[in-house]
C-alpha cells in the first residue's frame, strides 16, 4: 500500500495533528512533523500502542456481551382515571466461545454447575432490579409529564390573555382610527417609524400573496390562515423593534399591516400612585414606565409608589395628558351623588333610651313595646333587632336600644345625628348614678334634647325631689325651675305616666320639626350588625332619608352588597323601608361597624371600589393610632397650633376624690398646654369609658379603681395608655410631666474652662499644637470649643488632641500647662484664648 503522511492520517482518523504526533512519539516512532510518511507497519505499531494504553487485551475477545431492550405497558392508578405507562426493560447477556466452555467442563464439572446457578441467580436479580428501576423511571416520567402539562397550560392561558388584551387594544385603535377619519380637518401625522413599519409589512404582504397563489382551499379557511400568520408575524415584529411603535392593524382583505395613530389618554393621578397602577391607567406595560423612570433618573419597581411630580413627568414623557385628582375623590364623588332634592315630609322621631343598670330601662321599654304594638302583630318584636317602632295616638315613634352605649358613642364620633331625642331613665329610689352622668355627657356631646323619666315612683322609698335636685346639679334643670328639660314621673310596673312620656316625646319632636325626603335613594346609619350562621352577615340599619328597596346596591362603611332581603321590626319580610324605619338587611358582604353610614349607589363597581378604598384608609389609620395613642407620644397626634391639649378620661372611687382631681387638672397648664377631661365618673373603668378613650385618642386614669376585662382588652388592642393611681399627688405629677414634655426645652451654654495660648508648635501628626495655660475652670477633651482673638470668636469646633507632656489626657485643670490641637484649624496664634463650653437642654416645667 502507498504510504501516507502524518497530516493525511490525522485527517483520516479525525484527530488533531499535534495529538497524533504526540501519540506516535509515545509509541516509539520517530515522526516529528506532519510531512513525515507513515508506513503500514508503523500504523500497526501505533494501533497496538493505542489498544494497550486504552486497556484492550492483545489476544482476541473470548466473551461477547449483548444488551437488549424490551418495551411493555404498565397500568398506573385504578378505575377510569388509570393511565397506561410505557415501561422499558433492559437485559444484558454474555456469550463465551464453545471451545473455552468445553475445555472448562472436563476438569471441573461441579464448579461449572455452581457458576451456572450463580449466573442464573444474578440474571434474575438483574432483571428484578431493572424492573424496579423501570417502574421508578415510569413514575418519575409521569410526574414530569404532569408538571410539564400544568406549566404548558399556565403558559397557554397567559398567552391567551395577552392575545385577548392585544386584540382589544387593536380594536380600540381601529375604532379610534375610524373616528379620526370622520374629521377631515385634522391631518394624519405619520412618523418615520410608521413608514418603516409599513414598508416591512408590504414586503411581508407580497410574500404571503405569492404563497396564496400556490395554495388551495376555501376562501374562508384562507382568510383565517392569513389572519393567524399575520398575528404571529406582528408579534415577531414587535419583539425585534427597539422602541415602542404604534400598534399594527391587520387588513382582513389584503393581509397587509396598516399603522394606527397614537392614542393620547387623560391619566388621573393623585398624591401618590404605584408604578403598576400608573402603567394600567396609561394602557401600557409596566416595563415601559420603569424604562421611562430610569431615563428620568428614578429607580423604581412595579409596586413602589411615586409622587405627583414624578408621575407628571412620566405621563408627559409618554405623550399623555395629566389630570390631578384628590385622594378622596371617591368619597367626594359619593357625597356629590348623595345630594338629594325633593319634598320634605314629616317622619317619626328617633328616641334612644339610656340610663343606669337596674334603673328600670329594660322594664320601661318592655312595657311600651307590649302595650303599644299595633293590633295583629302577635308575638311582638324580636329582641335582637335593637330598634323598633311604636304606634301612638299622636303618631309613630322609633326606639333604639343601645346596651353599653357602644353604638351611640360610635355614632356621635362620626357626627351622625341618628338620635333626635334621648330619654334618660333615673330610678326614684336610687338617684343619679355614674352611668347616669355618662348618659348626660353623651347627650350633651351629641347636642340632642333630653327628657328625664323618673322611674319606680310606685315604690315606698321613691324620692323624686331628690332626683330632681341631683340632676339640677348636673346642669339638667327641669322646666318648672326655668330650664329646658321635661321631667316625667313614670312606673314601668303599673304603667303610670307612660302616656305622658309618649306625649312629651311627641311634643319635643314637633318642636324639632323633624322631616325627611321620601322619594330618593336611601341613606341612613348602621345600628348594629352580626354574622348569622344561616343567613350570613346581617346589618340592622335605620333609614334617615329616601326609600330602601329590595335589590338596591348599598355601601355601608367598608362593605357593600345588593339587598337580597329585608325584615322589619316585627321580623316580617318587606320590600321597602321608609325614613325612620329600622330594618334588617341581608346581602352585604361583611359586618359594618355600629354608627357607619350606609347609602344606595348606582352600580356595584363604584361600591366595590369605594369599599376597598375605605378599608385601605382604615388600615392606615389603625397603624397610625398604634403610635399616636401612647401617652408619652401624645404630642405627635396633636395639631400644630398655639395651644396643645392633653385629653383624659378619669374614673375614681368616691365623688370627693373625683371632684378634687378634676379641679386640680383645671388649674394645671398655661397658654401653651392644658388638660381636657372628656369623661369622668365614679366606679370602675367600663367598656364605654374605653370606647370613649379610643374614639377621641385620650388617656385613661383610674384612681383607686380598676378596668374590667372587656375595657382592658379593648384598651390593649387599640394601644391606648391606661394608668392606675392611689395618691393624688402622683397623678398630678405625671400629668405635669406629660404637659412639660410638650413644652420646647430651653437650651443653655455653660463655659467650663478657658486656656490662653502661650506659644504655637508644629506637629507632623496634628499640625499646629497650641501650648496653653489653663487660666479658668477645666479643659475637657470631648467638649466643643471656641477660639477667641481679642475677645472675638473666630472659630468654633472641637479638640483633636489634649496632651500634658507626651501623655494624652482627658482633662486639664486650672493652673496647668497643656498642648491643644484644634481639629481642622491651623491659624491659632499666641495670645488667643480657647474657650471650652458645654450645651445643656433644660426641660421647662409648669
User: According to the model, what pLDDT value does residue 85 have?
Assistant: 77
pLDDT surpasses 50 at 411: no
Pick the most confident of 5-9, 114-118, 791-795.
791-795
Q: Of the candidates 738, 734, 721, 711, which has an alpha carbon nearest to the alpha carbon of residue 661?
A: 734
User: According to the model, what pLDDT value does residue 683 have?
Assistant: 79
Q: What is the mean pLDDT of residues 272-293?
A: 90
Please, which pLDDT band fits residue 235 given cuts at 50, 70 and 90?
Answer: very low
CA dist 512 and 76 (Å) reads 82
User: According to the model, what pLDDT value does residue 165 have?
Assistant: 87
CA dist 832 and 793 (Å) reads 10
User: According to the model, what pLDDT value does residue 98 have?
Assistant: 62
Q: What is the pLDDT of residues 188-215, one digit of tens each?
A: 444 444 545 555 555 555 544 444 444 4
Q: What is the DSSP string of 282-337?
A: HTS-HHHHHHHHHHTT----TT-EEEHHHHHHHHHHTT-EEEE--TTHHHHHHHHH
| 595-625 b/e (C-beta count within 10 Å ≥ 16 → b) | bbbbbbbeeeebbbebbebbeeeeeeeeeeb
Q: pLDDT over 90 for what percent of the chain?
A: 15
Strands (E), 698-790: 699-703, 722-725, 746-763, 767-777, 779-780, 784-789
Q: Bigger pLDDT: 67 or 711?
A: 711
Q: What is the pLDDT of residues 124-181, one digit of tens each?
A: 888 888 888 888 888 888 888 888 888 888 888 888 888 888 888 888 888 777 766 5
Please, which pLDDT band fits residue 2 given cuts at 50, 70 and 90?
Answer: low
pLDDT surpasses 60 at 842: yes
Please, which pLDDT band fits residue 754 given cuts at 50, 70 and 90?
Answer: very high
CA dist 761 and 801 (Å) reads 13
User: According to the model, what pLDDT value does residue 384 have?
Assistant: 39
As to burial, measured by CB atoms within 10 angstroms (0-12 exposed, 13-18 middle, 19+ buried), residue 538 is buried
User: According to the model, what pLDDT value does residue 414 have?
Assistant: 40
The number of residues in the chain equals 846
CA dist 708 and 692 (Å) reads 15
pLDDT surpasses 50 at 361: yes
Q: Bigger pLDDT: 12 or 594?
A: 12
Q: Are 486 and 452 in contact (CB under 8 A)?
A: yes
Q: Are 669 and 739 in contact (CB under 8 A)?
A: yes
Q: What is the pLDDT of residues 765-787, one digit of tens each?
A: 777 889 999 999 999 988 899 99
Pick the most confident of 148-157, 206-215, 415-424, 736-745.
148-157
Q: Are 665 and 729 in contact (CB under 8 A)?
A: no
| 682-699 b/e (C-beta count within 10 Å ≥ 16 → b) | beebbbbbbbbbbbbbbb
User: According to the model, what pLDDT value does residue 835 have?
Assistant: 93
Please, which pLDDT band fits residue 252 given cuts at 50, 70 and 90?
Answer: very low
Q: Lowest mean pLDDT: which of 438-447, 519-528, 745-754, 784-793?
A: 438-447
From residue 845, give the alpha-carbon distance in Å to each of 504, 641, 669, 670, 742: 53, 20, 10, 11, 10
Q: Lowest mean pLDDT: which of 324-328, 370-374, 380-384, 415-419?
A: 380-384
Pick the most confident of 24-38, 336-350, 551-565, 724-738.
551-565
Q: What is the pLDDT of residues 542-598, one digit of tens each?
A: 998 899 999 999 999 889 999 999 998 888 899 999 998 899 999 998 888 777 888
Q: Lowest mean pLDDT: which of 29-43, 373-387, 433-447?
A: 373-387
The annotated binding site for GTP is made up of 355-362, 401-405, 455-458
Q: What is the mean pLDDT of residues 104-121?
A: 59
pLDDT surpasses 50 at 267: yes
Indicate the pairing of strand 344-346 with strand 746-763: unpaired
Q: Of the candidates 340, 337, 269, 416, which has an alpha carbon nearest to the alpha carbon of residue 606?
A: 337
Q: Lowest mean pLDDT: which of 65-79, 238-252, 296-310, 493-507?
A: 238-252
User: According to the model, what pLDDT value does residue 640 have?
Assistant: 46
Percent helix, strand, coil in the chain (nearest 5)?
40, 30, 30
CA dist 581 and 588 (Å) reads 19
CA dist 502 and 488 (Å) reads 10
Q: Is the dihedral of CA 179, 184, 185, 188 positive or negative?
A: positive
Indicate the pairing of strand 421-427 with strand 248-250: unpaired
CB atoms within 10 A of CB 68: 9
CA dist 82 and 75 (Å) reads 7
CA dist 508 and 106 (Å) reads 131
User: According to the model, what pLDDT value does residue 561 have?
Assistant: 93
DSSP state of 454: E
CA dist 52 and 48 (Å) reads 6
CA dist 336 and 32 (Å) reads 99
CA dist 452 and 424 (Å) reads 5
The conformational region for residue 529 under phi > 0 = left, psi -120 to 50 = alpha, else beta, is beta
Our CA dihedral for 219, 225, 226, 231, rounded to 10 degrees, sits at 150
Q: What is the mean pLDDT of residues 465-478?
A: 88
Sorted by sequence, the CB contacts under 8 Å of residue 56 that are 6+ apart come out as none
> What is the rounded end-to-end Cα distance, in angstroms, of the chain?
121
Mean pLDDT of the chain: 77
Secondary structure (3-state) at 768:
strand
Which residue bears the cell 413599519?
Answer: 197
Q: Bigger pLDDT: 348 or 3?
A: 348
Amino acid at each position: 500500500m502507498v504510504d501516507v503522511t502524518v497530516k493525511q492520517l490525522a485527517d483520516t482518523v479525525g484527530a488533531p495533528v499535534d495529538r497524533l504526533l504526540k501519540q506516535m512519539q509515545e509509541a516509539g516512532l520517530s515522526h516529528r512533523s506532519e510531512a513525515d510518511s507513515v508506513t503500514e507497519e508503523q500504523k500497526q505499531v501505533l494501533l497496538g500502542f493505542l489498544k494497550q494504553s486504552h486497556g484492550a487485551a492483545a489476544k482476541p475477545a473470548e466473551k461477547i456481551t449483548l444488551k437488549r431492550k424490551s418495551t411493555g405497558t404498565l397500568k398506573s392508578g385504578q378505575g377510569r382515571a388509570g393511565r397506561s405507562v410505557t415501561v422499558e426493560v433492559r437485559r444484558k447477556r454474555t456469550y463465551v466461545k464453545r471451545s473455552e466452555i468445553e475445555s472448562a467442563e472436563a476438569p471441573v464439572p461441579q464448579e461449572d454447575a455452581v457458576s451456572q446457578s450463580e449466573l442464573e441467580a444474578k440474571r434474575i436479580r438483574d432483571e428484578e432490579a431493572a424492573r424496579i428501576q423501570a417502574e421508578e423511571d415510569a413514575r418519575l416520567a409521569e410526574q414530569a409529564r404532569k408538571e410539564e402539562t400544568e406549566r404548558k397550560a399556565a403558559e397557554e392561558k397567559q398567552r391567551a390573555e395577552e392575545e385577548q388584551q392585544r386584540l382589544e387594544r387593536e380594536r380600540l385603535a381601529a375604532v379610534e382610527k375610524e373616528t379620526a377619519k370622520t374629521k377631515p380637518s385634522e391631518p394624519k401625522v405619520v412618523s418615520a417609524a410608521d413608514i418603516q413599519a409599513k414598508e416591512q409589512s408590504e414586503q411581508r404582504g407580497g410574500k404571503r400573496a405569492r404563497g396564496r397563489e400556490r395554495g388551495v382551499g376555501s376562501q374562508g379557511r384562507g382568510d383565517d390562515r392569513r389572519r393567524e400568520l399575520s398575528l404571529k408575524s406582528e408579534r415577531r415584529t414587535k419583539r425585534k423593534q427597539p422602541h415602542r411603535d404604534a400598534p399594527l392593524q391587520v387588513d382582513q382583505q389584503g393581509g397587509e399591516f396598516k399603522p394606527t395613530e397614537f392614542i393620547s389618554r387623560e391619566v388621573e393621578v393623585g398624591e401618590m400612585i404605584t408604578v403598576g397602577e400608573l402603567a394600567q391607567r396609561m394602557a401600557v406595560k409596566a416595563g415601559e414606565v420603569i424604562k421611562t423612570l430610569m431615563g428620568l433618573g428614578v429607580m423604581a419597581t412595579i409596586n413602589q409608589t411615586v409622587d405627583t411630580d414624578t408621575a407628571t413627568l412620566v405621563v408627559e414623557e409618554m405623550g399623555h395628558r395629566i389630570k390631578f385628582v384628590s385622594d378622596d375623590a371617591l368619597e367626594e364623588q359619593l357625597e356629590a351623588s348623595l345630594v338629594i332634592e325633593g319634598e320634605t315630609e314629616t317622619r317619626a322621631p328617633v328616641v334612644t333610651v339610656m340610663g343606669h343598670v337596674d334603673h328600670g330601662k329594660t322594664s320601661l321599654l318592655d312595657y311600651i313595646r307590649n302595650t303599644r304594638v299595633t293590633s295583629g302583630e302577635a308575638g311582638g318584636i324580636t329582641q335582637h333587632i335593637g330598634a323598633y317602632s311604636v304606634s301612638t295616638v299622636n303618631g309613630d315613634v322609633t326606639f333604639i336600644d343601645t346596651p353599653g352605649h357602644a353604638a351611640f358613642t360610635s355614632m356621635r364620633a362620626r357626627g351622625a345625628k341618628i338620635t333626635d331625642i334621648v330619654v334618660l331613665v333615673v330610678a326614684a329610689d336610687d338617684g343619679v348614678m355614674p352611668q347616669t352622668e355618662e348618659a348626660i355627657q353623651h347627650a350633651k356631646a351629641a347636642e340632642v334634647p333630653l327628657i328625664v323619666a323618673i322611674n319606680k315612683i310606685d315604690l315606698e322609698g321613691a324620692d323624686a325631689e331628690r332626683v330632681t335636685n341631683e340632676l339640677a346639679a348636673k346642669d339638667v334643670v327641669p322646666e318648672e325651675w326655668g330650664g329646658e328639660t321635661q321631667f316625667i314621673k313614670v312606673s314601668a310596673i303599673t304603667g303610670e305616666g307612660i302616656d305622658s312620656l309618649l306625649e312629651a316625646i311627641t311634643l319635643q319632636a314637633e318642636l324639632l320639626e323633624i322631616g325627611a325626603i321620601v322619594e330618593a335613594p336611601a341613606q341612613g346609619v348602621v345600628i348594629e350588625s352580626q354574622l348569622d350562621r344561616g343567613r350570613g352577615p346581617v346589618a340592622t340599619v335605620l333609614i334617615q332619608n329616601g326609600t330602601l328597596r329590595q335589590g338596591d346596591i348599598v355601601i355601608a362603611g367598608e362593605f357593600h352588597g345588593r339587598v337580597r332581603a329585608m325584615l322589619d321590626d316585627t321580623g316580617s319580610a318587606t320590600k321597602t323601608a321608609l325614613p325612620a324605619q329600622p330594618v334588617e338587611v341581608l346581602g352585604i358582604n361583611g359586618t359594618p361597624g355600629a354608627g357607619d353610614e350606609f347609602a344606595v349607589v348606582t352600580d356595584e363597581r363604584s361600591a366595590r371600589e369605594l369599599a376597598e378604598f375605605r378599608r385601605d384608609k382604615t388600615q392606615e389609620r389603625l397603624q397610625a393610632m398604634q403610635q399616636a395613642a401612647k401617652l408619652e407620644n401624645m404630642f405627635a397626634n396633636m395639631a400644630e397650633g398655639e395651644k396643645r391639649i392633653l385629653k383624659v378620661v378619669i374614673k375614681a372611687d368616691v365623688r370627693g376624690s373625683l371632684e378634687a382631681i378634676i379641679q386640680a387638672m383645671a388649674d394645671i397648664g398655661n397658654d401653651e398646654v392644658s388638660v381636657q377631661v372628656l369623661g369622668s365618673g365614679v366606679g370602675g373603668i367600663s367598656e364605654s369609658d374605653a370606647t370613649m378613650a379610643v374614639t377621641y385618642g385620650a388617656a385613661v386614669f383610674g384612681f383607686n379603681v380598676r378596668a374590667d376585662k372587656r375595657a382592658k382588652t379593648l384598651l390593649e388592642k387599640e394601644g391606648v395608655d391606661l394608668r392606675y393611681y392611689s395618691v393624688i399627688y402622683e397623678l398630678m405629677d405625671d400629668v405635669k410631666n406629660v404637659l412639660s414634655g410638650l413644652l420646647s426645652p430651653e437650651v443653655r451654654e455653660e463655659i467650663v474652662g478657658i486656656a490662653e495660648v502661650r506659644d504655637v508648635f508644629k506637629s507632623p501628626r496634628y499640625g499646629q499644637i497650641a501650648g496653653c495655660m489653663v487660666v479658668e475652670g477645666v479643659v475637657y477633651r470631648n467638649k466643643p470649643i471656641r477660639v477667641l482673638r481679642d475677645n472675638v470668636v473666630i472659630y468654633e469646633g472641637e479638640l483633636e488632641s489634649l496632651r500634658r507632656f507626651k501623655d494624652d489626657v482627658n482633662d486639664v485643670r486650672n493652673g496647668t500647662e497643656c498642648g491643644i490641637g484644634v481639629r481642622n484649624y491651623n491659624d491659632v496664634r499666641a495670645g488667643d484664648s480657647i474657650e471650652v463650653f458645654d450645651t445643656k437642654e433644660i426641660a421647662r416645667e409648669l
